[in-house]
Amino acid sequence: MNITLKRNFISLFLILYFFLNPNSAFSQSRYIDSLVSYSIKAPNDTHKLSVLTIIIEAISEDAVWSKYNDKLGPLSQKLMRDKNEGVKKKAKKHYSDYLNNKGYLSNNLGDVTQALDYFHQSLKIQEETGDKSGQSYSLNNIGYIYHTQKQFSKALEYYEKSLAIQKEIDDKQGQAQSLSNIGNIYDKQGSLKKALFYYFKGLNIRRSIRDKHGIGYSLQNIGTVYFNQKNYFSALYYFTKSLEIREKINDSQGIAFSLCNMGKIYLEENNTELAKKYTLESLDMSRKMGYPENICSAAIVLESIYLKEEKYNKAHEMLKLAVKMKDSISNNEIEKSTSRKQMQYEFEKKEVISKAEQEKRELTYIAKANQQRIIIYAVILGMIICCIFGAFIYNRFKITQKQNSIIQAQKKVVEDQKHILEAHQKEIVDSINYAKRIQYALLAHEDLFVRNSLSHFILFKPKDIVSGDFYWATEHENDFYLAVCDSTGHGVPGAFMSLLSIGFLSEAIKEKNIKEPNKVFDYVRRRLIESITNENQKDGFDGILLRINKTTNDVTYAASNNHPVIISDSEIKHLKCDKMPVGKGERTDEFSLFEIKPNESDTIYLYTDGYADQFGGPKGKKFKYKPLNELLLTINHLSLNEQQQVLGDTFNGWKGGLEQVDDVLIIGIRI
């Protein structure tokens, strides 16, 4: 190794050592001093460039690092004239970094025009050198400037250019950020469906790369859109999910923000107790961390809560705190002077802590006084109850003595009957489980869908072990048939009806060679009436039978009291159906034959009434069809497997601890 190469190697080692181990042997200050000293003694200008870049990254104060950035610019320009192409290219990269830094400083000082000029100069150099990563960074910076100036169309243009480059270089982290930025633009413009579309895309990418901070941020954005739509159920779901992620990664500021959002929702729903609980937690955490923006947000919500509770003194305190935090945020003098900023921050922090401690002492005093009163009342009440209970126990003891002999005799009879009932119960449950295996064997098999290249999802949640809802499929000649039906009743009676109906459907198509779906329904109705319907019975099913031609993909169908739904070009359409059951009813007309002409991107949904009829939510009401269709429209851009997951999670979240009222069946297909 020659002397020059050896010196260069040692210099590079020192740079890496200081950069990767700033706290290994020096404090942060000594680490920076060492880098500054080394930059003066650097063996050549290319090394000096690298060290200056590290110094700029290591220093947080604008006034200090900008001094070294001013050295980086001229030195880069000098080396851009070097004869060595490698040195020249590296110098251009550093010069573009210098321009980006200047743009950042200009924006901080409020000179937007100058900031844009620097970012555009940087972008031009990155385009000349083919620095794709740098281009996406500069484009994003320009988009951010326009974003803050509320020039949304311009911001959108640059965010989308940045996103295109990030896709080209497979920068997943950058793509997720750009998608969030674009979603934020649409959110501010009031285009909430588009905002959701981009937020969900960003969320999926962040999940794929396990970016937990980003996942928490995306879930928060989605919850905010639902909050703006006044869809408080969905908003609370996503804010809660965001909080869970942030708690796992100990993101204190994110936790405080999520708690405040949940407080806003409960305030809108007039649940002041929960609203106050979550918002006070947010305020307490924000005060401990000293985040003025979070403190301000929580104080504004608490002001509204205390006004509702007619606690005007507390409401006034929260208003003063919010105004104070706003002043702190907008104070330019604090931003420009580090010493003044630190002094002001410490003063505000002490004042906030002092108020918190005072409030805590007051609450403790009140709690102790209340606790003492409760103890006194509890002791008096307890003594009265003990006297009453003692008299009652004595009376019962005398009666029990007389009844004890009778009870002992009856106990043996009851135990014998219990064993008999348990044996019968086991036999019944075993029989029903066996019936479940039979029923599931007759339902549509996954290989039928795969063999016919039919993209799909199936959400099937029986109310009991066996189900009155069923889905059935078969192939015949050049056609594929799919039925989604809801039989009369559920549980065992419904399951018997479903097995009988599946048998008649198969008989009509396979044995009688009936091809048209409406003729199949006519045949099955006749067979059901002949087989089981008495004078006062109206057994049968409501449902849909699709026929898909394997060659042309043409779709025809028959529908009984249940219409299919199709989503095409972000619009939902409710298709036609006949208002009569497949079974005995008031009408005996022949079923109609309907036709669908779907595009490749269209999704057809077939569902029974169980999902819409489920009771739940904050007020224990039915979910209903309109919210179900709106949910389908919102998640239509997701993959079919993801749609099934969201539908299942939403159903479970809505139902909560309530009993499931009916069988649930939803199938989505793309042809």
Domain presence at residue 651:
yes
496, amino acid identity: F
130-177 per-position pLDDT tens digit: 999 999 989 999 999 999 899 999 999 999 999 999 999 999 999 999
- Could you count the other beta carbons within 10 Å of the beta carbon of residue 96? 25
Helices 312-330 and 338-442: crossing angle, nearest 10°?
A: 110
- Residues 668/456, Cβ–Cβ less than 8 Å: yes
DSSP per residue, 74-103: HHHHHHTT-S-HHHHHHHHHHHHHHHHHHH
Residue 28 confidence (pLDDT)? 64
CA distance 288 to 282: 10
**Is the domain of 438 the same as that of 471?**
no
Residue 406 confidence (pLDDT)? 77
Residue where a domain terminates, one of 411, 442, 473? 442
Residue 4 confidence (pLDDT)? 33
Q: Is 126 left (phi over 0), alpha (psi -120 to 50) or beta?
A: alpha
- Could you count the other beta carbons within 10 Å of the beta carbon of residue 273? 9
CA distance 380 to 369: 17
Domain presence at residue 345:
no
Residue 591 confidence (pLDDT)? 96
CA distance 63 to 68: 10
CA distance 466 to 495: 6
Q: Give the global pTM.
A: 0.51
**Is the domain of 494 the same as that of 368?**
no
- Residues 130/149, Cβ–Cβ less than 8 Å: no
Domain presence at residue 49:
no
The runs of H, that is alpha helices, within 468-534 are: 491-506, 517-532
Task: Report the number of distinct structural domains present in the chain.
Answer: 2
Residue 27 confidence (pLDDT)? 54
Query: Two tokens at 32?
Result: 């920076």
543, amino acid identity: G
Q: What are phi and psi of 618, to 5 degrees?
A: -60, -30
CA distance 356 to 367: 16
CA distance 238 to 482: 35
CA distance 310 to 303: 10
Domain presence at residue 377:
yes
Residue 570 confidence (pLDDT)? 87
**Is the domain of 429 the same as that of 454?**
no
CA distance 411 to 12: 90
Q: How long a stretch of residues is the chain? A: 671
Lookup result for tokens 């159920």: 233
CA distance 561 to 587: 12
Longest dimension (CA), the chain: 115
**Is the domain of 567 the same as that of 484?**
yes
**Is the domain of 451 the same as that of 539?**
yes
Q: What are phi and psi of 582, to 5 degrees?
A: -90, 90
Run means of pLDDT, 10 residues per run, the chain, 671 residues = 36 45 52 76 81 82 82 88 87 89 87 91 90 91 92 93 94 93 92 91 93 93 92 92 93 92 92 93 90 90 91 90 82 44 41 50 57 72 78 78 74 72 66 69 80 90 90 92 90 85 93 95 93 71 94 93 93 94 89 92 94 93 94 93 94 92 94 83
CA distance 48 to 91: 11
CA distance 399 to 577: 68
CA distance 256 to 445: 48
277, amino acid identity: K
Helices 212-228 and 192-208: crossing angle, nearest 10°?
A: 160
CA distance 102 to 87: 23
Per-residue DSSP letter, 617: T
How many secondary structure helices (H) and strands (E) does the chain include?
23, 13
**Is the domain of 546 the same as that of 633?**
yes
**Is the domain of 482 the same as that of 414?**
no
| Close Cβ partners of 191 (under 8 Å, ≥ 6 residues apart) | none
Candidates 52, 81, 54; CA nearest to 69 is: 52
The C-alpha torsion from 157 through 163 and 166 to 171, rounded to 10°, is 150
CATH for 536: 3.60.40.10
**Is the domain of 413 the same as that of 482?**
no
**Is the domain of 369 the same as that of 517?**
no
449, amino acid identity: F
Domain range holding 430?
A: 361-442
CA distance 136 to 516: 56
Query: Two tokens at 296?
Result: 């301000």
Pairing of strands 603-607, 565-568: antiparallel
Residue where a domain terminates, one of 442, 460, 493? 442
**Is the domain of 535 the same as that of 664?**
yes
Domain presence at residue 466:
yes
**Is the domain of 451 the same as that of 582?**
yes
- Could you count the other beta carbons within 10 Å of the beta carbon of residue 128? 11
- Cβ-in-10-Å burial (0-12, 13-18, 19+) of 45 comes to middle
DSSP per residue, 437-487: HHHHHHSPPHHHHHHTT-EEEEEEE-SSSS-SEEEEEEEETTEEEEEEEEE
Candidates 57, 124, 47, 122; CA nearest to 90 is: 47
Residue where a domain terminates, one of 414, 442, 470? 442
Domain presence at residue 534:
yes
**Is the domain of 374 the same as that of 497?**
no
The C-alpha torsion from 536 through 537 and 543 to 546, rounded to 10°, is -100
Domain presence at residue 236:
no
Domain presence at residue 293:
no
